[in-house]
């Protein structure tokens, strides 16, 4: 449940910040007449993300077991790729996000209502589609027959909306660069579990070999139906009897990705120019 809460919080907060920046800029520049197109674009983006999530969930139920596993595994790998790109992108651009959005909004204001709708739709829609895909993949990986994964996502999104509103009202100030670094690091850990489970799905679909080649089996020590087994699965997508391929994929993704993500960013200083004598 915690991993899904983290996904909802992280992805939802990005979208909330984008909305807050757009709305605050229009209010401060006395362009309240442009608020309706912005809200229209946001509403369309949310509806598209929700529809995409429903299509993934209900569309996959009509498939055979083998096709479901193949689809789940493929989409899990795609979701991890998108989320990995997203956390690195946000780490790099978090400090300049505000000015970048202001520039896009100025251009849209000059072009008219349709451009405003498109700007809000594209700004929020990308986050929404990424969230829907990664949430579906994570819930699919951590599914235990209970609504807890979806509840975790919903609580995360509600928390993100509340934080966004507090940012807008000026009641809350945090270092966003540090926030996205810490949550991004935790999201990489979650993504590693989703990726490993995605490869397990492909093994169950007979797309990859090694389904019976277990790396270890500690089901007797950590039963999957125990409270601590459920907790580990909910947070890390932990499986007490993973295949060798799952463990290899988990390690090969997690170690280098986390090391690169947490490595300090290099800043280049300009070379001083000496005056000619």
**Tens-place pLDDT, residues 116-132:** 788 778 778 877 887 78
The closest of 132, 125, 122 to 79, measured between CA atoms, is 132
Residue 268: per-residue pLDDT: 46
Residue 41: per-residue pLDDT: 87
Residue 271: per-residue pLDDT: 46
pLDDT tens-digit profile of 136-162? 887 776 665 566 777 877 888 888 888
Residue 203: per-residue pLDDT: 92
β-bridge partners, 243: 214
Q: Are 240 and 105 in contact (CB under 8 A)?
A: no
Give me the residues of the chain with pLDDT under 50, please: 268-277
d(CA 156, CA 2): 9
Residue 250: per-residue pLDDT: 93
d(CA 23, CA 42): 11
Q: Are 119 and 104 in contact (CB under 8 A)?
A: yes
């Amino acid at each position: 449940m915690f991993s899904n809460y983290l996904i909802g919080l992280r992805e939802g907060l990005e979208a909330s910040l984008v909305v807050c920046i757009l709305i605050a800029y229009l209010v401060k520049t006395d362009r309240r007449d442009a608020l309706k197109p912005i809200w229209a674009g946001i509403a369309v983006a949310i509806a598209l993300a929700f529809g995409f999530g429903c299509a993934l969930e209900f569309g996959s139920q009509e498939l055979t077991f083998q096709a479901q596993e193949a689809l789940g595994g493929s989409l899990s790998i795609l979701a991890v790729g998108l989320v990995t790109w997203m956390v690195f992108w946000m780490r790099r651009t978090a400090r300049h996000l505000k000015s970048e959005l202001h520039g896009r909004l100025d251009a849209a204001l000059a072009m008219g209502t349709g451009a405003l709708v498109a700007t809000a739709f594209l700004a929020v829609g990308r986050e929404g589609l990424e969230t829907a895909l990664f949430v579906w993949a994570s819930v699919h990986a951590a599914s235990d027959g209970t609504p807890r994964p979806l509840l975790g996502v919903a609580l995360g999104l509600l928390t993100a909306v509340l934080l966004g509103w507090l940012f807008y009202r000026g009641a809350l100030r945090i270092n966003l660069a540090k926030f996205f670094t810490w949550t991004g690091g935790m999201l990489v850990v979650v993504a590693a579990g989703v990726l490993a489970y995605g490869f397990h799905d492909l093994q169950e679909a007979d797309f990859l070999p090694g389904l019976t080649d277990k790396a270890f089996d500690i089901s007797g020590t950590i039963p999957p139906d125990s409270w601590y087994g459920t907790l580990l699965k909910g947070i890390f997508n932990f499986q007490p009897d993973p295949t060798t391929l799952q463990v290899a994929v988990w390690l090969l993704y997690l170690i280098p990705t986390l090391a690169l993500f947490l490595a300090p960013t290099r800043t280049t200083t300009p070379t001083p120019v000496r005056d000619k004598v």
